[in-house]
Amino acid sequence: MATRPYRRKRYWNEPTLTWYERAYIFEIVRGLAITGGIFTRNMWRWMTGRKGALTTYYPEETRWDYAAANRGKHVLTQRPDGSPQCIACNMCATVCPAKVIEIEAAFDPDDPAHPKYPARFEIDYSRCIFCGFCVEACPEDAIRMVKEVPDLPSEDRRRMWITRDELLNWKPQRDVAKPYPPRGGTKEPA
Alpha-carbon gap, residue 139 to 105, rounded angstroms:
16
46 is a contact residue toward another protein (CB under 8 A): yes
Pick one of 26, 39, 66, 107: the residue that binds another protein (CB under 8 A).
Answer: 39
Pick the closer one to another protein by CB: 17 or 53.
53
Q: Which one among 20, 21, 26, 38 touches another protein, defined by CB under 8 A?
A: 38
Distance CA 177, CA 188 (A): 18
120, 166 contact by CB (below 8 A): no
Q: How far apart are the first and last CA of the chain?
A: 106
Q: Which of 76, 96, 97, 94 is nearest to 140 (CA)?
A: 76
- Give least dist CB 48 to another protein, A: 14
Binding mask 13-32 for another protein (x = CB under 8 A): ---------------x--xx
- Cα–Cα distance for residue pair 72/150, rounded to 1 Å: 7
Residue number with CB closer to another protein (53 or 113) = 53
C-beta closer to another protein: residue 31 or 132: 31
Q: Using CB atoms within 10 A of its CB, is residue 17 exposed (0-12), middle (13-18) or buried (19+)?
A: exposed
102 vs 108: CA distance, rounded Å: 19
**Of 28 and 113, CB closest to another protein:** 28
Per-residue binding string, another protein, 47-76, x by CB under 8 A, is -----xxxx-x-------------------
Rule CB under 8 A: which residues touch another protein?
Answer: 28, 31-32, 34-36, 38-39, 42-43, 46, 52-55, 57
